[in-house]
């Protein structure tokens, strides 16, 4: 049984005339009659009483008509729903990002996307990069902004990754720091406020301290971004945070001398799952936003666009 056969049947049932039904469905009358006969053979029952000048539904035809109308309506609804998704009038995107980016880059990108695609639902999941990578692997996210692994480590093989930005990390404190530029070695005598395990910022700070020959001490550890900044404001100790966060924190800050501390921000998705049209458009919106900001010189201080994002 084919949808087109049901359309022809419904047209004949409504017009009670094969010729008018053929005109309505834009098919020749012989072709329409042939399709009706084929449908009747498949169902094993006549659908119409055919007498000269009069077409009437048989009991079988009367039984089929409401079912055919429902099937055709469902098919039209399915076609419309798919077209709306393809044309980005509907859909959903699940984006993951670390809290530091949810408070800076992500709102601007989502605002631009929402302006052009108001019917697409946006779902944001905050978390550390390790958690977000796991969520991508489990199919719980479409896209995620994540932090590149430390030197010597590689991206998980199941991810497709585009490295976007390199950002400086800085030291923030509730009190004025002795200099605007310090060396990593000076953290040896400063107990730090430290992020919880699973945060790439924690791993970056630990790796820099260990490369300088010491294991840092913690004044307090285990917080998320807002908690870490709150602990710093309370005077519990300084913390290593991204430059784009420090700019809006209201805290005193110092950059690191020498090669400094930094992190690479990347956009990742599952390699084996093609992006939905909505997710692909969000990715394009993000890249356009970064390129425009770089061209206008409005990227945060110490942040530069990487070649793959240009």
pLDDT at residue 113 greater than cutoff 90: yes
Q: What is the pLDDT of residues 146-194, one digit of tens each?
A: 998 877 788 888 899 999 999 888 999 999 888 888 999 999 989 999 9
DSSP the chain: --HHHHHHHHHHHHHS-HHHHHHHHTS-HHHHHHHHHHHHHHHTS--EEEETTEEEE-HHHHHHHHHHHHHHHHHHHHHHHHHHHHTTSSEEEEEEE-HHHHTTHHHHHHHHHHHH-TTEEEEEEE--HHHHHHHHHTT--SEEEEEPPPTT----TTEEEEEEEEEEEEEEESS--S-SEE-GGGGGGSPEEEEPTT-HHHHHHHHHHHHTT-PPPEEEEEE-HHHHHHHHHTTS--EEEEHHHHTTT-SEEEEESTT-EEEEEEEEEETTSPPPHHHHHHHHHHHHHHHHHHHHT-SPTTEEE-GGG-
Neighbours of 258 (CB within 10 A): 11
Domain chopping of the chain, boundaries? 3-86, 91-309
**φ, ψ for residue 232 (rounded to 5)?**
-65, -45
What crossing angle do the helices spanning 18-25 and 29-43 adopt, rounded to 10°? 100
Q: What is residue 269's predicted lDDT score, i.e. its pLDDT?
A: 94
Give the Cα separation of 87 and 223 in Å (integer). Answer: 42
The overall average pLDDT reported for the chain is 89
Q: What is residue 171's predicted lDDT score, i.e. its pLDDT?
A: 92
Q: What is residue 84's predicted lDDT score, i.e. its pLDDT?
A: 63
pLDDT at residue 75 greater than cutoff 90: no
With 0-12 / 13-18 / 19 or more C-beta atoms within 10 angstroms meaning exposed / middle / buried, residue 282 is buried
Q: What is the pLDDT of residues 204-220, one digit of tens each?
A: 889 889 988 999 999 99
From residue 96, give the alpha-carbon distance in Å to each of 20, 203, 214.
Answer: 56, 19, 33
Residues 6+ apart with CB under 8 A from 104: 242, 244, 245, 248, 300
Side-chain-side CA neighbours of residue 183 (13 Å): 8
Q: What is the pLDDT of residues 85-111, one digit of tens each?
A: 676 778 889 999 988 888 888 999 999
What crossing angle do the helices spanning 277-296 and 59-86 adopt, rounded to 10°? 20
Q: What is the pLDDT of residues 232-260, one digit of tens each?
A: 999 999 999 988 888 778 899 888 887 66
271, two tokens: 């390699």
Q: What is residue 168's predicted lDDT score, i.e. its pLDDT?
A: 87
Selection from 242, 259, 253, 244 nearest residue 184 by Cα: 259
284, two tokens: 């394009």
Q: What is the pLDDT of residues 41-51, one digit of tens each?
A: 999 999 999 88
Q: What is residue 77's predicted lDDT score, i.e. its pLDDT?
A: 76
CA 9 to chain centre: 44
Residues 6+ apart with CB under 8 A from 185: 212, 213, 214
- The arithmetic mean of pLDDT across residues 220-237, rounded, is 92
Q: What is the CA radius of gyration of the chain?
A: 31
Is 170 within 8 Å of 246 (Cβ atoms)?
A: yes
pLDDT at residue 1 greater than cutoff 80: no
- The arithmetic mean of pLDDT across residues 24-42, rounded, is 92
Q: What is the pLDDT of residues 301-310, one digit of tens each?
A: 678 999 988 8
> Is it true that domain 3-86 has CATH number 1.10.10.10?
yes
Quickly name the fold that domain 91-309 has.
Answer: D-Maltodextrin-Binding Protein; domain 2 (3.40.190)
Selection from 52, 71, 68, 72 nearest residue 60 by Cα: 68
């Amino acid at each position: 049984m084919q949808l087109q056969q049901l359309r022809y049947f419904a047209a004949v049932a409504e017009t009670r005339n094969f010729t008018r039904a053929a005109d309505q469905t834009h098919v020749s009358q012989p072709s329409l009659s042939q399709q009706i006969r084929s449908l009747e053979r498949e169902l094993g029952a006549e659908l119409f009483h055919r007498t000269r000048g009069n077409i009437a539904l048989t009991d079988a035809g009367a039984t089929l008509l409401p079912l055919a109308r429902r099937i055709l309506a469902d098919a039209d609804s399915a076609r419309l729903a798919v077209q709306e998704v393809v044309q980005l009038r509907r859909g959903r995107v699940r984006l993951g990002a670390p809290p530091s980016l949810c408070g800076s880059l992500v709102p601007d990108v989502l605002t631009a996307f929402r302006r052009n695609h108001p019917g697409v639902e946006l779902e944001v999941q905050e978390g550390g990069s390790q958690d977000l990578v796991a969520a991508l692997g489990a199919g719980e996210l479409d896209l995620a902004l994540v932090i590149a692994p430390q030197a010597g480590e590689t991206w998980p093989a199941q991810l497709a990754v585009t490295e976007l930005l390199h950002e400086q990390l800085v030291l923030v404190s509730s009190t004025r720091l002795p200099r605007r530029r310090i060396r990593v070695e000076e953290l040896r005598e400063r107990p730090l406020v430290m992020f919880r395990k699973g945060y790439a910022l924690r791993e970056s700070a630990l790796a820099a301290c260990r490369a300088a020959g010491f294991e840092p001490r913690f004044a307090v550890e285990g917080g998320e971004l807002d908690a870490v900044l709150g602990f710093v404001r309370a005077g519990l100790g300084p913390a290593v945070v991204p430059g784009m966060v420090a700019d809006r924190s209201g805290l005193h800050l110092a950059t690191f001398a020498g090669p400094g501390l930094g992190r690479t921000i990347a956009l990742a998705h599952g390699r084996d799952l093609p992006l939905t049209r909505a997710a692909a458009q969000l990715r394009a919106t993000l890249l356009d936003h970064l390129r425009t900001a770089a061209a206008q010189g409005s990227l945060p201080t110490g942040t530069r666009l990487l070649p793959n994002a240009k």
